[in-house]
Each structure stands twice: as C-alpha cells, then as structure tokens.
Structure 1
C-alpha cells in the first residue's frame, strides 16, 4: 500500500528512528473474513464492529514498543479519531475504535495490527493515517483508504440478521426474480443485481457523496450514515432523479427512443455504471421494478439486507382517503376520471433493520419505495415504513405508513355513470393487495408475504384505523369496529370470471353469473367491454364489445358465456399484455344497474433454453446452449428477433433474425458460453417481432459454474 510521510523533526534525529516502509491491507484475508470478497478491486472493504488486520513493515530496524508508540488516526471528512495501538490479548470492544497487537503479532520488522470500528460506525470511505511517536517527535504517514459497511452478521449492528440462509439470499446473492403480471397469471422475471460487477460499489459510494444531504452539510451527513433508516431514505430519493442528481429517470408513456425502454433492462450494474461514468446524468428510463431492483442492489452493497417485493393490485391513493374510486360507463367501459389508480403490480423493496427512532416492536422489514409517485416531506421518496405498522394500521409511524397501507388494503368503490349521472355503485374491500410476493430463500418459488401486511381482522369501511403503539408492541390485532348501517340489499348480483389462463392464439372465455334476488322474472340487458391497459394506469380504448338481452326467472341464477376470438384481439395484444374486461347488467324495467370487472394478462408461447453439459459448467471452458422459439399462432410473425444474453457467460447480446416466422415454424440461436467466474449465472432469452409493440416472450435458465 502506497503512503506519504509527513516529518515533524530535525533531520539529525531521523537517522536512528523507526520508519514505515510498506503497509499490507491483507485484502484477501480481510475480505473473506468480512464477507466482502468481490465487492471491489480498488479498495479494502470491511464491515463495522469486526476487526480487520493491517500489517506494518518497517525499514532498517523493528518497531521498539519501549521507546516508540504507534497511533492510528481514522479520518471521515473533517472529523478524525486517534486510536493508540495497544498490546493486548483481549478481544476488541465494538463500542469504540480500537487497535491491538495480539501476542505474536510483532515480528522482526513487521507488526500485525487488528483494527476494529464501533458497531454503529458510519458507512463511508475512510482515510487512515499512522503516527510513530517518541519523546523526540512524531512522524506521520498517510497509509491509505478503506470502505466500511454495515454488518448484518454482527449482533450489535442495527441490521443484524440471525439466519445465515437469509444473509446469503438478502446480502450476498447477486441475482433474483421479480414477479410481474396479474395475480391470476404471475410471471417471474430474472434480474441481475450485480453487486460484484466492476465499479458498482464505487457508484454506490458516489451516490452518497452527491446526495443533497451531503452537499448541504458533509459532517452532519457522515454522522447520520450510522443509521440504516437514514441511509435507506437518502438512497431511496437518490435512485430517482426527480429532486437531485439521482440515478434513474422514470417514464411510463410515449417513446423511449432517447434512452432504454424499461422492459429492456436485465440488471442493475449497467445502470449504475452508466450513471457513474456520465458525471451523474440520469439514466433513461425506469419503471417501478427497475427503480426497486437498483435500490436493492445499493442496499445489499452497503450491507443492509434487502429484497424486492411485488404487490399485486397495488392502490395509488392520490388524495389520501384510503379509498380508490373507479368510474365505468353504463356499457362497461372503464373511464379515466379519477386521480386514484390500481396498478396490476407494483414493485418496492423491503430492508431489514431495527428502528431506534421508533423503539421496540417496529424493527424487522421496512418498506422503501423509490418509484417517484408522491412526495414525502417534500421529496420523491417513500419509507422506510415498518411492515408491522402497516399490518396493525398504526399510521402515525414514520415514514409514509398511510400511503403504504392504502397500497395494500384500500377499499375500492366502482361507480357506474350514465349521461353524467350515478346509476350504480359497488364496494369491493378485497380487490387491493390480492397477493404480495418475493423470491423465496434459496428457491425460485415465490414466498407469500400477504399475511405480513394484512391482518385477518379488518375494520369496517369508514371506520378509523388503529393508532396505538400498544397494538404493535404486543403484536395484537385490533378488534373490528361496529358495522355501519347497511344499505338495502341489491335485487341483482353479478360476477365475472375469465376461464383458465388466456394464451395468445386461443379464445378468451368470459363467464358472467347473474343472480335474481327478487320474486319476479326480469328482463335484463348485458353489456360487456374489453380494454387493453398498462399495468400502472387506466385502460385505453375498447377493442371488443358485446351486448344482448336475457331473461331471468324469480330467484334464478343465470350463467352467460362469451368468447373473444383471436381475430378480435391479435392486432392489439402481445404476450404479457393486460386486459380489463367489465360487465354491466341493467334491469330494463326498474333500471337497477350492477357491475363487475376483472383484469387478466395474456400468456405467450414459451422459449426453450437447453444448455449442454448443464449442470456442471466450469470456468473458462466452452459450453453450448441452444435457444429456440416456435410460432404457435395462426399467423406469420414479421421481423422476428430472438435475443440471448447472460452476464458472466456471453459477451453482450447475440441475436437470430427472420423476416417472416411462419405458423408452427421455429427460430433458433446456438451460442457458445464461457463462464468468467464461479457461481450461479443466468442465461436469458427474449423474443419479439415487428407486429408487436413490445416483447412477446421471455425465458431464462440458471447455469451453475464450478470453480474448476
């Protein structure tokens, strides 16, 4: 390790003194011990509260502890702390900085010094100095730098996580799965978090250095970085660029020609490297899963256990009344007349930490959402919000608990309008937060987190939410409040369902069930309407409609079947597209009007990936992978493109193209993969064609790479 010497004595006295020749930061040993191997080739990376070793090599003669003293000094910004080096066989105290030489640690011309930081040290890049002091003066050396991270392996650290399997998943794993689609048709998409890719750790440190908090008051920011809640809030705001020099610009509509389409990203490293190398210019473009995945990468790098979480049917409560209003026409078309919305899926991050600012009972998983939706204390960020506070509806807990609670448990009121007048109303208390998923530990299966957010006992609509700390600390569920006076039961009831899982090229079967609660027959008008929609907004124009008159007997139940044929949707829908279908039933005589709606996604044909000699691939040995897609649709696909990529397996993206892919024909791509490092890698493939505005199909394959 290079260093510079600062002399503070006369030249005559320098001849016989102990001089520092070389410093060995013992990077391999320290980083293996601190679970930081691979995070940086530029800096020593260690975790707070755990000793690391620095070996000092002296010139000409050995260090003499009887006449000379060693003092280390750690610098963070303008603040420093002196650490006298002591001879001791006692373990380090994690409440303060210490530097010890254990018995046998001093040899002829070298000394092994064990340095330990407090368990609540700030996360940052530190500068280290060495002072050799005698009664004749002091000689100082600028030794070098090291990076200090949170330590979830240490019981005294606020981010301590006791289970090793969880630490491997939520800190060390550099890949994972994102869950998307609709709750009836969930698709898993691979993501490369990439915390071991070159420059990623340095980009995360740079992110902290250009935050508004740091630019305003560096010393105050450095001090507060000891708190993971503070870190998560700062980083959450910095992942989007709305208020600062943040990483990602969001875009949900229009052209993406001046950037990268959000669906084209497959990992965080590329995004972080682009941001850092462009002098902190925002990377275009991100949507919720991209924002969340980048945040998860940064938090894992800094040592805070994190996981990406998907909420299916997530409410965006713009007015803060914990109720989502949806408007429909009398023919079943969903209208864009509300600031509120329900996203088919929304992705955020959970970070693991104790909450010293809130006290006992609020620790554990905290929601941190970097997607710029609403401002929190004047800034586009959300959280950290304790999941336990959401479950028990303790909305006073900072930060943004009411907004998160509404996201997973708001009521939905569907209103039917005819010529501007309200003709029907339906309350749905179950639509929001249908499922909440994350990747399981050491498994590709989803883990259902819904029960962590939603209590089995739920207050009636309109009642006040719980505001007592005791409900959190005792982990008890609040009793439901008395029911409000009920409305007159409807004479008609209707429910709509979509049969099976709709796939491209097949009929979409819609089933409507009508129940007559009256003792007289009724003449009804049925209106059905289907609209394409984005996952995060209201539907677009209708692409299919149907209507007919039907009769129902007193107390009868009527089942009506409708089918949307491929010829009626193939020019509009692609794989993974989402459809809103609604039915409105109206009594022709009484004009009683009832509604039900359903949203579903379209499945696409699958891509096949076959890796020869898999499992059992080895580093730097060639292996062959064959990727193929068969057109199961009844029409030819123009401009077919099959793309294959894999970080650590392939250099860049490789493509196969066909001008026309005829029905029942296959497009193939054979690639040679050469793994550059050991571990689990992802080989990913996408298929698209010119007739579709987006990707039609995605697939991936895990490749286990052996070290030899």
Structure 2
C-alpha cells in the first residue's frame, strides 16, 4: 500500500515496495496472491524496500524507525543493523551486506506469538538535519506452522502441505460399513476468502466487546480456535452458518448441495454478515477447517461414526423399539450415524506438554461451552485418557465416542426386552489420509482398542456371536441381522437373519421385520417396508432366513437418507422378546470424470468429460454442477434431461487452470425426482508453463 509524507526536499520516500512475490514465496503464502495486501507468517522476517528520490540514505547520520499498529495497539522500534533481538520481540533491521543506499531494504520480523490480524506500519527516515520523510504500508500476519517457536508448529512438510496448503479434500459420511467420500473444496486461496476469515475475527463478540483485549489474545491458537468455533454457527452472534435439520430448505440451500467453503464465506461477508442458510455438521466442520487453514493453524476434518449425543451425561444412550420392530422416538439422547468435527494442531501451554497435539473443535451447535455454542479445543490425548478435569469440553466429546447403547423393546407400555452394546458408539473415527484420496482410521487416538474387530469398517454389520453375548442378549435365543454386502443404489438390499435356539426344547417364534428411512441425526420416519411370519425351531436348531428390499421399494423414501432395519422375535410360549437391528446407507453410483490431457498446464485450456449412468428403476433428471478451486472460476451448471433407467450421458466441459499444484475437479448431479445427489471427483496435477 502506498502513501507518503515529504517534509524535506533533498530526500523523499516514493513508496513502500512490499516485495510481495518474494515475501509470499518465502512465507508459503503464494496462494493468497489475489489479496491486495502482503500476507506473511509470524516468527519469520519479511523484506520491504524504500525507493528514495534525491538524497541517498546515509547509515552514519540518518536514522530509520518503524511503527507497527494493530487496531489501537502499536509498537515503535528503531531499524538496526543487528538481527540479534530476542525472538519474543518485534524487530526491524537492515542487512549491511549489499545495502543499496538509494533503495534500502528493511527486514521486519514479528514474534512467533504475535497476534493474527491486519497490521499497518509507518516507516520514517530522519536525516542529519532532523528532517523527516515517512511512508505507510500494511500486511496481514498469520500463524506459522513452519516456525519451531510457534504454538502451531507441526513437524513434517507433508503434514503442513495437507493441513495448511491443501485447498481440497474429502469428508466422510454414511456409515462405518459403507463409507461415502464426499469431495469438498476448502477454497482458502479463492478471492475474498482470506478477507472473510479476518472479518470473522473482527465481528466476533469478543472483538466487539473489547477490541484491545481481543487483539492481545489473538496470538494464542487456543483463544482463536474458540472464537472461530463459536463464529461458524450463528446461535450467539452474526456467525457464518445457520443450522437446519428438519423441514424444507426453501429459504436457503439444502446442506447436501454445498460443495465448498468459498461460496459460503464470501456470501456471508458480502451480505453484511447475515448467516448463510443452511448448514449441517459436515458443512460447519468443513468451513471451520477453511478458516483455520487460512489463519495458519493446521486443521483436518474428522468423522465419528455412531456419534452419541448424551444429554444427561450418564454415558448411556437408550433406544426404544415396538414389538413389530419399529424404532420409536422416545429418548432425548440420540446417536447420529456420523458426526463431523475438526481437529487443530497446537501446543497447550495452559494444560502442559502432555496435552499438545491434535485438539477437537466442533462448530456444530449442540450445547453451550462457557455460555456460548462452541466446543473445544479438547485434547485428543485427554479424551483417550478420560482426563475430564482438563479444558475444554472433554466430557462431552468423550461421551460422543464412548457411550453405551441400551436397546429396549416396548409392548403395551412396558419394557419386555433389554440388551446392551458397548462397541457401537465411536465404532470408527477417521480423517483424510495425508496425500491420498482415502480415509485414515484414527479410532485408536481417541479410545483404547481392546478388540481388533472394533476398528473394522464392517464392524457394525458383522457382529460376532461373542460380541452379541457381550452385549447382554438373553440366553434362550440368539438373533443376528447381517447385510450380505454393502448396499448399492439400483440393486436389492439383501440381508440375512440368523436365529439360534440355545435350549433343548422346541420353540415357536413370531418374527417381525421392519425398515424405516432416517436422516443421519434423527429418529426414523414411518415404516416403508415390513414383513412378518412364524418360525418353528427344533431344540438347539439354527435357522437362516434370506430377505431383500427391492429398489422400487426404497428409492422413493431413501435417496441421501439411511435405513433403520430391525428384527423382533417373540417366543410364543415364554413371551420372551429378542431384538437385532442395523442402520445402513445405500451407496449411490459415482460420476466418472476423465481428463483429456494427463499433464495440465497453468493458464492453458483443458477439457474433461463427466459421465453418469442411471442406476435407478425410473427415469431421472437434474442439474450437473462442476467446480474446482484453482481450476474453474466459480461453478459451471448443466441441466440434464430425463435419462431412462440404465441410460448413460456424457457432458464435455472446458476449463483453464489458474494455480499450480494438486487440485480437485469435482462434479455433483442433484436429481430432481429422487432425494439424491450423485458425486464424483478427479485429482489433477497442474504444472507451470
């Protein structure tokens, strides 16, 4: 930024040259090239130069001072010829080697604990005759995970590349047995996103209440992360996203249709900070991941499958079923098939070194922390060790991954069957693997794994007889409900019921099977498929029943939702009841993306083909959206005409890559007559010309 004051004819500073290209390459902030301001990281020097008119700078007689400002805070210091200033202080110096007296260079370095924000500075030269000439500039200062002294330092370059620089990734949803990889564009380097992230700090209640205190605290990633966690949701403030889990989304955007953070953050900023409608857990988490990466704090998105929301803190979730296998909405507690939060990497000087490393932060509004809807940072190590005496929100997160599930069958107002499952909650916790488009199992970071099967992705549908016994099933009869394979859209859902008579007497059993559609975070809706019958069991006999739900029976109600499937058996003679249940998702087909050229060149037009084959039993139509940070300017939309069952369509698209590096081209097809969005992505490498 340029400006000048000239009070002496012989010497005039023409402007401040921020040496933007050199500095941003040195500070790993080249991605922010669209930002007008210089973007640098704390704890490392950056260089500015002062082109002078008239008299040259005389280091023997002239003096240089710099004043750095952040809001009403300021620091004044002389520009010296020595780098030997404590790293905990601001410093400014000139390198006497190769000093150009007509265009002197000044190195400015902040402490590794300096506050994040947009700074102004004033450089003044005072000549021997006490005449003064000044110039002004500004820079944006971010955290520095490359700097050993910074509280967010993370030790390996591939981690910094993944958790700071990577502008695309995968969010994992569905169920542990049938994980769905949802592509997401974090967009941290897209125009306007950095500015929106800084706005988020400025409009926070903490800054509005006392800007000076807020600026002083902004050097601490623990403080920053709590501010951001609260500001992503709009429950207590003019936060970024308004959540909605029930009803229609006509007043905004269905959360399933968002494909990246950039649209959300820039819409929020351009609207005067009105909450964007609507978000759900993966949207809240993905947007927070963007903000934290922008601010320089290493961040990754984490999915907890079978995530408990324990409202009364007793580490027990109760689920009720009718005698026909219909799941009932009777408990304030709930289990979400998946819940998505973020982890940020930082030292915890407030807790001690044992709590350093990954910290859970959850911006989805579920319960208040310190009077505000935010959660964390909770050290992952503290969750595993059940250190509920530590800050912040460890008991809540601990319950999300460790609660027991009590399943009860209710008949005529009384409980007739009870079983306990200690393995279901937190059955799989995962994040995107470093450098690869697949999930990484991190369950062992959160909980002590006692059995190798408890971390298998298929655990939820392949419970062994031993694990069923551990769950407290009554002794007389054992019942198992097992999916034959991971269900796929357009194909029957095939499953097996196995019933074992453990006693030496024959049994007559009434059998009920029930299927309900459900959203990932809610109780199921009405039954859409059921069947019943009578089963005769000889003494000690085991029987296997094969069943299937056909596509035309589930397509109209499922789509992006899941299915709760339950079997209830009643012993006609003893009136004992037995229950087994599963919740599962049906994987939709993927869009296929083919790129014409293997080697993409920056600023050179490229082409790709997106292919879709209709797996459904009815014609489908919809809107195809293609986007990619650093590849396409915004989104490109195509309307797809009705496509018959089994029909195939190809859509050619062209794009011009604008940024070098590994990028994600993603496509999503939102179907209009089925509640389903079909997605696909392709990772591409863009090279310099």
Under a length normalisation based on structure 2, what TM-score does the superposition of the two structures give? 0.93
Which residue of 1 is the match for residue 329 of structure 2?
336
Structure 1 residues 374 and 138: alpha-carbon distance in aligned structure 2, compared to 1, 3 A threshold:
farther
Of residues 629, 633, 650, the one that matches 2:616 is: 633
Which residue of 1 is the match for residue 576 of structure 2?
592
- The CA deviation at 1:356 is 0.6
Of residues 622, 638, 649, the one that matches 1:655 is: 638
Contact 2:410 2:417 in 1 (8 A): yes
Which residue of 2 is the match for residue 499 of structure 1?
484
SS in 1 for 2:481: strand
Of residues 342, 346, 350, the one that matches 2:343 is: 350
Which residue of 2 is the match for residue 610 of structure 1?
594
- The CA deviation at 1:306 is 0.4
Which residue of 2 is the match for residue 543 of structure 1?
528
Of residues 269-278 and 519-528 in structure 1, the stretch that sits farther from structure 2 once superposed is 519-528
Which residue of 2 is the match for residue 473 of structure 1?
none
Using the alignment, how far apart are the partners of 1:488 and 1:666 within structure 2?
48
Structure 1 residues 92 and 189: alpha-carbon distance in aligned structure 2, compared to 1, 3 A threshold:
farther
Which residue of 2 is the match for residue 5 of structure 1?
5
Write out per-residue CA displacement over residues 435-483 of structure 1, whole angstroms, 9 at most, x where no aligned residue. Answer: 111111111121110000011359xxxxxxxxxxxxxxxxxxxxxxxxx
Structure 1 residues 486 and 663: alpha-carbon distance in aligned structure 2, compared to 1, 3 A threshold:
closer
Using the alignment, how far apart are the partners of 2:202 and 2:471 within structure 1?
57
Using the alignment, how far apart are the partners of 2:605 and 2:402 within structure 1?
51
Of residues 42, 46, 64, the one that matches 1:48 is: 42
Contact 2:421 2:471 in 1 (8 A): no
Structure 1 residues 269 and 332: alpha-carbon distance in aligned structure 2, compared to 1, 3 A threshold:
same
Which residue of 2 is the match for residue 401 of structure 1?
394
Which residue of 2 is the match for residue 686 of structure 1?
668
Using the alignment, how far apart are the partners of 2:587 and 2:420 within structure 1?
30
In the alignment, is residue 285 of structure 1 matched against residue 283 of structure 2?
no
Which residue of 2 is the match for residue 673 of structure 1?
655
Q: Structure 1: give runs of 5+ residues left out of the alignment.
A: 8-13, 459-484
Contact 1:21 1:58 in 2 (8 A): yes
SS in 2 for 1:153: coil
Contact 2:308 2:401 in 1 (8 A): yes
Structure 1 residues 91 and 164: alpha-carbon distance in aligned structure 2, compared to 1, 3 A threshold:
farther
SS in 2 for 1:347: strand
Structure 1 residues 15 and 693: alpha-carbon distance in aligned structure 2, compared to 1, 3 A threshold:
closer
1:538-577 superposed matches below 5 A: 538-574=523-559, 576-577=560-561
In the alignment, is residue 160 of structure 1 matched against residue 153 of structure 2?
yes
In the alignment, is residue 311 of structure 1 matched against residue 293 of structure 2?
no
1:412-431 superposed matches below 5 A: 412-431=405-424
Contact 1:496 1:512 in 2 (8 A): yes
- The CA deviation at 1:567 is 3.4
Write out per-residue CA displacement over residues 260-307 of structure 1, whole angstroms, 9 at most, x where no aligned residue. Answer: 111111111111111111111111111111111110011001110000
Contact 2:562 2:584 in 1 (8 A): yes
Under a length normalisation based on structure 1, what TM-score does the superposition of the two structures give? 0.91
Which residue of 2 is the match for residue 471 of structure 1?
none
In the alignment, is residue 583 of structure 1 matched against residue 567 of structure 2?
yes
Using the alignment, how far apart are the partners of 2:142 and 2:154 within structure 1?
15
Contact 1:174 1:195 in 2 (8 A): yes
Structure 1 residues 622 and 124: alpha-carbon distance in aligned structure 2, compared to 1, 3 A threshold:
closer
- The CA deviation at 1:138 is 6.5
Contact 2:433 2:440 in 1 (8 A): yes
Of residues 97-106 and 360-369 in structure 1, the stretch that sits farther from structure 2 once superposed is 97-106
Using the alignment, how far apart are the partners of 2:220 and 2:473 within structure 1?
54
Of residues 509, 534, 547, the one that matches 2:519 is: 534
Using the alignment, how far apart are the partners of 2:2 and 2:472 within structure 1?
79
Structure 1 residues 57 and 641: alpha-carbon distance in aligned structure 2, compared to 1, 3 A threshold:
closer
